[in-house]
A and B are shown apart, each in its own frame.
Chain A
């Protein structure tokens, strides 16, 4: 089915990262969104792609947000795995800007590969030139996509595009598609330098 670019553009105005993910989702798909926040992405995907799905979230306020948004949510700690979910039970398992805050990084990628036919991961690119500049100047980066100080950041496993691709190789995840964004612009040239947010779609290798 062709992607309806008009609706995606409208939504892209407020969450271009949602639109980027939606462009990869087949209509009617079954989706698991890990670290789903208040369910905004699932709600958006339901509106745009008529998906059926569940979110997983640990934070009370976000679980409540999901219920208020009418989104199925399972309160569970991602660090302890996805044992409630059967093998191959989802079309897509999404980990949207959550990977960098997880302790069990490789484990969650493996769980995504077990539970879903495809995985989608997005994360802030630490290799973005503005981040590099701040490090060169002697400071940990603070930016729009990394809005924390080193002492209060939940982000414990930041990586670059190259780093993530290496992890995929180690986890035997076959990368199907990559998209690198800066705001609502897609970055084709020198993505590891000019891209702020990275998106990957992958399957079992």
Chain B
């Protein structure tokens, strides 16, 4: 059940964007659908809109529940709602499923109207820049000319950052949480192992598994298990699972013995029912490609020249996938450009997943920052 200060029952909405989208890869999508949700109401000045960008496995369902599914609480319900840090009594909050996703926006699992078949492997790879462009189309559809804030964690933080680069006049504040201005080699390496798990699954069929009525379950499961390890910290795993055994003793075999094995397998299995493998591949590529400094010879400060928005950048001490160092790179480039920026380094034991957790200090920082945004 939703908490008392939840946005309550929500209903997803759809928009068909009938305007060709030129992708960074050079290809084009002639038209596409986006699914989104909104919470709170747009004020008469249209100055209180907040866009929440989702991470790798997130979607448009940020807060509230669906009428027929009491357990369908949105992924950031602890952050977004009436009286919550991103206060829907003040702000008009929008969640959108990114293009290429698998929760209602056009993606690899959608039917291509031209062929009557699933896009599958034919769905082009999209980037963070492409997503920002589609989100701008959604904003136009909703009559929003400027966001009070664009907010996101992890891959969502990259989108918030990209917004301030591509549309400096259309975003007043960016909240960039547990993100990075580019992935490290180690981070790309994790993504590639995840992709290899999917791509080498016999049921992947070159991305056309839909036609074979099957799913690359083993691959997606492994990808998720690996990802999940990197989203937690050594400390949080140790305190949650330690070396606990399910049956209290070794069975000297390869079945599930340690609790952590049981947990990861459960997470992996659950994920294969909820997420499309092609979308997973595409999202990890968007992460890998993101590098706004690349066009400026690696000079992030030069890349940020056009930025006008004010920033809140947050990182978590035990996040080794998107470490505080990467957030400090962003902060430094903003400082070099005399941009209003505040940076909080939050002591947390939960690794990268901290950005989804209900940590008091973290939420106080977001609340304080959002409270000072004029609408």
Contact = CB atoms under 8 A, between A and B. Distances in A.
A145 interface: no
A197 B332 CA distance: 33
Nearest to A39: B342
A76 B343 contact: yes
A70 B342 CA distance: 10
Contacts of B347: 60
Contacts of A70: 372
Contact of A67 (B328, B338, B342): B342
Contacts of A30: 338
B361 A60 contact: yes
Nearest to A70: B372
Contacts of B342: 63, 66-67, 71-74
Interface string A15-59: 000000000000000100000000000000000000010100000
Contacts, number: 50
A76 B338 contact: no
A70 B173 CA distance: 13
A86 B364 contact: no
B284 to A, nearest CB: 30
Given A63-B344, A66-B342, A74 B331 contact: yes
A92 to B, nearest CB: 15
A64 B364 contact: yes
Interface residues of B, number: 21
A84 interface: yes
B335 A68 contact: no
B336 interface: yes
Nearest to A74: B343
A67 B336 CA distance: 21
Nearest to A56: B343
Interface string B345-375: 1010000000000000100110011011000
Interface residues of A, number: 20
B341 interface: yes
Contact of B365 (A63, A71, A85, A89): A63
A134 interface: no
B340 interface: yes
A105 interface: no
B338 A52 contact: yes
A89 B368 contact: no
A30 B337 CA distance: 12
A67 B335 contact: no
A76 B345 contact: yes
A75 interface: yes
Contact of B340 (A64, A72, A84): A72
A63 B364 CA distance: 10
Contacts of A85: 335
A66 B335 CA distance: 17
19 contacts: A30-B338, A60-B361, A63-B342, A63-B344, A64-B364, A64-B368, A67-B312, A67-B342, A70-B372, A72-B340, A72-B342, A73-B343, A74-B335, A74-B343, A75-B344, A76-B343, A84-B331, A85-B335, A86-B335
Rank and list the top 9 A-B pairs by shortest CB-CB distance, nearest first. Answer: A67-B368, A75-B345, A74-B343, A68-B368, A84-B332, A70-B372, A75-B344, A73-B342, A60-B361
Given A63-B365, A74-B342, A84-B331, 12 more contacts: A67-B344, A67-B369, A67-B372, A68-B368, A68-B371, A70-B372, A71-B342, A74-B331, A74-B341, A76-B345, A85-B335, A86-B335
Interface of A: 30, 52, 54, 60, 63-64, 66-68, 70-76, 84-86, 89
